Chain A
Amino acid sequence: MANNNFSRRKFLAGAAAVGAAGVAGFNPLVSCSGGGSQKSGSLVTGEPFKKVSDLFIPPLLDKAPDGQPLKAGVIGCGGRGTGAALNWLAAGPNLTVTALGDVFQDRVDSCRERIKADFNIEVPEENCFVGFDNFQKVIDSGVDVVLLCTPPVFRPIHFEAAVKNRKHVFMEKPVAVDPAGVRSVLASAKMAESQGLKVVCGTQRRHQRDYIEVYKQVATGAIGDIISANAYWNQNKLWHRNPQAEWSEMECMIRDWVNWCWLSGDHIVEQHVHNIDVINWFTGTYPTRAVGFGSRQRRLTGDQYDNFSVDFVYDNGMHMHSMCRQINGCAGNVSEYIRGTKGYTNCQNRIYDLAGNEIYSYPYPLDEAGTPMRSVAVNPYDQEHIDLVTCIREDKPINEAEATAMSCLVAVMGRVSAYTGKEVTLEEMLNSDLKLGPETFIMGDVGIMKNAVVPISGEAAN
């Protein structure tokens, strides 16, 4: 066994580097052995650069192979749930949706109609479930796969139920909003692994071919040792729904869920986790502490911030700066940036040397006129489901739950630091009892809205 002090990092790095492959034998400090100077390897993880064959890359077929029919149940039938259902149905032959669940009837209805309109599939009335217990009924209805697309606070419960009933899972990011949820997902992920279940998460950049090509190059040393990273999600206001007189308090909040921290995790977790996840994926490890700040300037409903800026620090002293904002009329930027000792990359499609000369550009497919298109051949939302179905039918390993849960925990670490103004460590987060939201869910008055406070960091000046 390696040095004791590295056990936690081993676990952490293992989660990122191994990902779905389940490859054992992470060897920290291997590049430092032998007493010589480090020739090639990542300073961030202390590992040597990998060969492409050692990387976990999903199958990336254009269409999933044919096989025995696979029935999916959709849990959470809003915009993303409906979208996921369509992505699932488009992934390949012999795929269907046989059950729908949501807390609202109108969401189930609209999803059902859309599936009927686009794929001429009629989800039986008796398999449409409404209420907080819909997930168990969908799982029990005889499906093979569940698509978990509710607001993320529910995800740990739904994921655990799915795994315990031996269902393959597609689940949207984020997979949790708090440390207690993250730990639950980490444990369920281990159970899923032991059962050979396939789990794909909605961090779709990991299924986007241009990102994957750049990842291969960076992981094998194209920009040298990684020395800094940036992650951005700065965009306009997302959306909100004002409370309606006929809605209960719970309904008001769930219909407005991207504005409530206990439901979404705040936008650093809900949305920006994509970019943080890319940095975690490329670096193969996780930052171990963070100091951040943020505020609420123009958000209309809920209790969240609308901007965060977080300095994440790794054990070797490297920094990742993350910023995210949801305010109209400001500079927009949704991207990542990683700088190494030999060059830098935007992670998506280009690599530059230190002088700024482009040394790699992803070859996008050509259109009919012979000019490169601006997107990959298979859009990543479909690709996720193609990869899931391929792995189920060909029994290849894929389990992204742990990596996504850890990325969520990193984002939660940033949020907690911004809310409190304190430095927060990943270790504290891994061992925190922070759990958001009510203990039980009822469609009624839960006493959260009227007591809602937007966090203010630090102490009042006097």
Chain B
Amino acid sequence: MPKKVRSVFRKRSLLLLLFGFALGMIGAVFAHKGIKATSTDKFCERCHVHPHVFKSRKLSSHYATKSGMLVRCVECHLPPEGEGYLKEKIRLGAKDIYGFLVKDSADFNWEARRTVEMAQHFTSQRSCLKCHENLFPLTLTKEGQEAHLYYTQNEDELLCLNCHIDVGHYDPNRIHDRNVGFGSTTVANADVFTVPARVSALETFTETVPGTTVSFKMVAIPGGIFRMGSPEDEPLRKSDEGPATDVEISSFFMAETEVTWDEYLAFYSATGAEGRSTDTEGRRTLDDVDAITGPTPPYGQPDQNWGMGSRPAITMSYYAAETYCKWLSLITGKNYRLPTEAEWEYAARGGTETPYFFEGNPKTFTEKGFFGKLFGKQNELIGKYVIYRANSMGRTQEPDRVEANPFGLKNMLGNAAEYCSDWYAADAYSRLPEKVKDPRGPASGEERVIRGGTFKSDAALVRNAARDKTQTDAWLKTDPQMPKSKWWLSDCNHVTFRVVCEFDENTGKQQ
């Protein structure tokens, strides 16, 4: 640097310093103003044009507050100032701008975004607690006391949203209470069946449930030998799917679809005791019943307000699913039960040995990984057979949305996961003896096998061989009842079941 320039700098250093300071101040003021200006509700409204957001907000308890206080958008959707406010503002802002420019808000699945699962990513727990410092106000109800006490004991696992999801955007269909009226509105117009189906051979039949208007198709599955599990070179496989083992399966019948709400509600209304609102009947055992004890009323809305009818019934516990089979057996005179894991996979494969029962490589279907995100949109083929993340719109769908597998079974993959009667063990297949017939899984365990993936699953998890397990504790985490329900899951909306019927002397098997 020439001397002259340096001297000018030196002489004017004070001036420059002052200038810089002033510039900095102006910058700070404008930045501050900018942050403020982009944090008003009006500003949010400019881009968030989907009108239901504001309608539901105005109906919510955080807009129509008792004290007249108005809670602004950013006060819930961003963390408190000074606690990562700016960082989160930039993150969400960038996302919103991208969405605004590139996507059409009408295509978004707004409903799915209002689930706790998704909503927790754009609301701030710390902001809840910033305003609601006192979780034990004197006006708190008894139920509130119990719930908040439970929260204080499980702070790291629970969110305010778990119970208060609708405080910012009102949802008229939401129920956070004992739902004693659940299922009572289904009115039957059709004729009531008086006798169950008579089955005399291993042929597909339609079961008619006596005393109800419910019938469903049971598909005959001829026995055979198949290779259970996935080969080690199957793309996106997990280690619990092997070693692939030859397994022999006896003939049986399997329901064409996952148990529907119509079917499940028939059981619920036939066996559920009216007026009982808690589960204090734990002493009853399945073995010594002559009549079946049915579910207590659920807490909340088991169908998630997605609709019932032929959609798969969800949120029932394993115990409830098992009890359903017991009930169905009793009134039809057949042996209905949950499938074993081996039966399930045999039926799902329908004679195929490929990752899916249709053609295709999981890698081309998956949205996982860089290429998956970019190119994983070849979902026409898989979308014809499977309700999974890319086509489910965040909920279960009715069975006629998909085509059947080679055995004629629908939704074996995707839609909702299905209970199997086996205990889950990661190494279950390596414990199988050679030439095993009708294996029933480990003798004991903590969690049951669930199979088939769900409407939330990536393509990788709806392969024939993909395995998963129940999560007893997590699926009951927010059930506020004491004791927690043994019939309904408060925190799992993606599991159902499918019945199998044994091919035995009751269904025409010759000795």
Contact = CB atoms under 8 A, between A and B. Distances in A.
B135 A1 contact: no
A191 B136 contact: yes
B483 A187 contact: no
Q: How large is the interface on A (under 10, 10 to 19, 20 to 34, 35 or more residues)?
A: 20 to 34
Interface string A167-208: 000000000000000011011101101110000000000000
A109 interface: no
B149 A187 contact: yes
B154 to A, nearest CB: 6
B138 interface: yes
B138 A164 contact: yes
Interface in A366-390: none
Interface string B140-183: 10000110111011111100000000000000000000000000
Interface in A387-419: none
A8 B153 contact: yes
Interface stretch (A140-148, A291-299, A351-359, A428-436): A428-436
B154 A191 contact: no
Nearest to A14: B152
Nearest to B278: A433
Contacts of B135: 190
A431 B483 contact: yes
Given A1-B156, A7-B154, A8-B153, A194 B134 contact: yes
B190 interface: no
A426 B94 CA distance: 47
A195 B150 CA distance: 20
Interface of B is mostly: loop
B153 A187 contact: no
A247 interface: no
A195 B139 CA distance: 12
Nearest to B150: A431
A191 B138 contact: yes
Interface in B483-498: 483-484
Contact of A195 (B138, B148, B153, B280): B138
B445 interface: no
Contacts of A190: 135-136, 148-149, 152
A163 interface: yes
B254 to A, nearest CB: 38
A120 interface: no
Contact of A431 (B138, B157, B482): B482
A193 B137 CA distance: 10
A166 B138 CA distance: 9
Contacts of B157: 4, 7
A239 interface: no
A11 interface: yes
Contact of A8 (B148, B154, B280): B154
Interface string A3-39: 0100110010000000000000000000000000000
Contacts of A432: 482-483
A7 B151 CA distance: 10
B134 A7 contact: no
Contacts of A4: 156-157
Contacts of B149: 183, 186-187, 190
Interface in A117-154: none
Contact of B156 (A7, A163, A166, A194): A7
A166 B157 CA distance: 32
Interface in A23-82: none
Contacts of B152: 11, 190
A373 B397 CA distance: 82
B352 to A, nearest CB: 41
A7 B137 contact: no
Nearest to B134: A194
B156 A183 contact: no
B136 A433 contact: no
A4 B140 CA distance: 27
Contacts of B138: 163-164, 166, 191, 195
7 contacts: A4-B157, A7-B156, A164-B138, A190-B135, A190-B148, A191-B140, A194-B137
CB-CB nearest 4 A-B residue pairs:
A187-B145, A190-B136, A7-B156, A194-B134
